Amino acid sequence: MARLFSVALLAAAVQWMLFAGLVSGDAVQDLQKKVRPNLDAAIAKSKTCTKEKLQIRKEWGDIPAAEKKQYIAAMLCMMSKPSKMDQKKYPGVKSRYDDFVAVHINQTMNIHGTGSFLSWHRYYTWAFENVLRTECGYTGTQPYWDWAKWSADPEKSPIFDGSDTSLSGNGKKISHKASMYGPAGNGGGCVETGPFKNMTVHLGPISPAVDPAPPRNPRSDGYGDNPRCLRRDISNYLSSRYLRTQDIVTLLNSKDLNTFQNVMQGAGGAGGAGMGVHSAGHFTIAGDPGADFYTSPNDPAFWLHHGMIDRTWSIWQMQDLNARVNIISGGTSMMGGFGGKQQSLDDNVDLGVVADKVYKIRDLVSTVDGPFCYTYDS
Ligand SMILES: *[C@@H]1O[C@H](CO)[C@@H](O)[C@H](O)[C@H]1NC(C)=O
Ligand SMILES: *[C@@H]1O[C@H](CO)[C@@H](O)[C@H](O)[C@H]1NC(C)=O
Ligand SMILES: [Cu+2]
């Protein structure tokens, strides 16, 4: 009886603390809250960002339905607007959205497993948000996918539940084989629910990791026109192993940038994070183009995944902004292969037709300096 009473008392105390905002119930959010004053200090010193201008990126599940629909409508708008690329050179680039996919394909070997991985994808995701706003009237901010929140059952998450406020659901369940990343998931076929059920994928595949294999692209570089449906193969196999709160905490505890990057990308870094949150997120979506290293941005959920990648980097940085912003680690080509050099903060990031400006990596390492002025809610 006394034991029961103390359990009830403890539960009440936790309830009260949650209510009072003292703990959020999530170790990552708690850490983010704790280090947030450091960011305010950085904003005070920023050349370009102010507290008034600061944009707050939110988790998809916390966004009101009307704003979710506005984000979805802006993405559909990008898919219906003309490309800014040369159609003769890139016949599979059919829309403004495809411009982003083509830019990613083009640079894939120099932006993954490299020193530019984090800053390149930060700028790329920001450029996408910027085009949603400037070319398609979006007034919100780039949402993110808090992996841990939905790691037990991503198909039931508001991101993938197939409702009209989701980014569409799983693919149709078809009989198919495992991939090299895990057993066959719960879908595998065409996405038939939600706002993107009628979307057509044109580019790629280049490095498909789905069964059955998608039709081959007419061109070996993947830029030919290869119209097909969006496929997904979501399950909780990877999310329940690699995308839990404790996995993110392990990542955020990385002592240096090299470790952080390796744990994130599952390069066998200290911490034993196995496949790493980056791959685990991509292969939780899976399918085609989601599981194709080159064409993955063609799945509309890519941007929420990379929003979260960027959020974890920013929380890692916020723990010690003096030591964790103006630094670089890694090479210039994937996993150091192909004669890559050491990456430098002075290397350029050029997003071609999807962003106006070429920046040096050093201008892209803070979320509150250079072109950026945003943070994540906590
Ligand atoms: C690929 O990169 C080259 C070299 O930077 C550039 O000239 C070309 O326009 C790029 N193509 C695409 C599709 O981004
Ligand atoms: C959208 O896709 C469904 C099948 O999922 C199909 O029945 C319908 O005709 C399509 N609508 C348009 C406008 O293409
Ligand atoms: Cu990428």
Tell me which of 196, 197, 231 to substitute to probe ligand 2's pocket, judged by most ligand atoms within 8 Å of the beta carbon: 197
Instruction: Tell me which residue range forms the domain holding 218.
Output: 2-376
Rg (CA), the chain: 21
Q: Is 102 in the pocket of ligand 1 (CB under 6 A)?
A: yes
CA distances from 224 to 90, 105, 152 (A): 7, 12, 38
Atom of ligand 2 nearest to the CA of 192: 5
Predicted pLDDT at 182: 86
pLDDT(214) > 90: yes
Nearest alpha carbon, ligand 1 atom 12? 103
Tokens linked to 187:
């879908």
C-alpha 120/C-alpha 114 separation (Å) is: 10
Return the axis-axis angle of helices 302-318 and 117-136, rounded to nearest 10°.
120
Q: What is the pLDDT of residue 17?
A: 47
CA 353 to ligand 3 center in whole angstroms: 17
How far is ligand 1, taken at its centre, from the CA of residue 327, in Å? Answer: 27
Q: Is the pLDDT of residue 22 over 70?
A: no
Q: What's the pLDDT score for residue 334? A: 80
CATH number of residue 258's parent domain:
1.10.1280.10
Q: How far apart are the CA of 24 and the centre of ligand 3, in A?
A: 31
Q: Cβ-count burial of 50 within 10 angstroms (0-12 exposed, 13-18 middle, 19+ buried)?
A: exposed
103 C-alpha to ligand 1 centroid (Å): 7
% of the chain beyond a pLDDT of 70:
90
**How confident is the model over 23-47, as a mean pLDDT?**
91
CB of 192 within 6 A of ligand 2: the answer is yes
Query: Where does the pLDDT of residue 378 fall: very low under 50, low under 70, confident under 90, or very high at 90 and above?
Result: confident
Q: Exposure pattern of 63-80 as b/e (b: 16+ CB <10 Å)? A: beeebbebbbebbbbbbe
pLDDT at 11 over 80: no
Nearest-atom number in ligand 2 for the CA of 190 is: 5
- Mean pLDDT score, 225-244: 97
- For all residues of the chain together, what is the average pLDDT? 92
Nearest ligand atom owner, CA of 169:
2
Distance between CA atoms of residues 81 and 90, nearest Å: 16
pLDDT at 245: 97
Span 300-327, average pLDDT: 98
**Residue 29: pLDDT above 90?**
yes
CA–centroid distance, residue 198 to ligand 2 (Å): 6
The answer to whether the peptide bond before residue 212 is cis (omega within 30 degrees of 0) is yes
**Ligand 1 touching residue 371 (CB < 6 A):** no
3 pLDDT above the threshold of 70: no
Question: Looking at residues 83-99, what average pLDDT do you find?
Answer: 98
74 SS3 class: helix
**Closest C-alpha residue for ligand 2 atom 13:** 198
Could you identify the atom of ligand 1 that is nearest to the CA of residue 89?
A: 13
Q: Which atom of ligand 1 is nearest to the CA of 353?
A: 14
Ligand 2 center to residue 197 CA distance, Å? 7
Kindly report each contact of residues 208-215 with a partner whose C-beta sits within 8 Å and lies 24 or more positions away, as own/partner: 208/288, 208/291, 208/292, 209/179, 209/180, 209/181, 209/283, 209/286, 209/291, 209/292, 209/293, 210/176, 210/179, 210/286, 210/287, 210/288, 210/291, 211/176, 211/177, 211/178, 211/179, 211/184, 212/176, 214/288
Q: Residue 355: CB within 6 Å of ligand 1? A: no
Entry field: residues in the chain: 378
What's the total number of domains in the chain?
Answer: 1
Out of 106, 107, 111, give the residue to mutate to test ligand 1, the one with the largest number of ligand atoms within 8 Å of its CB.
106
- Helix (H, G, I), strand (E, B), or coil: what is residue 193? coil
Say how far apart CA 164 and CA 69 lie, in whole Å: 8
Backbone angles phi, psi at 158, to 5 degrees: -65, -15
Residue reference for tokens 């629910």: 193
Q: Is a pLDDT exceeding 80 seen at residue 339?
A: no
Residue 308 has pLDDT above 50, yes or no: yes
Alpha-carbon gap, residue 239 to 244, rounded angstroms: 7
pLDDT at 319 over 50: yes
Handedness of CA 46, 52, 57, 59 (dihedral sign): positive
Residue 349 has phi, psi (to 5 degrees) of: -115, 115
197 lines ligand 2 (CB under 6 A): yes
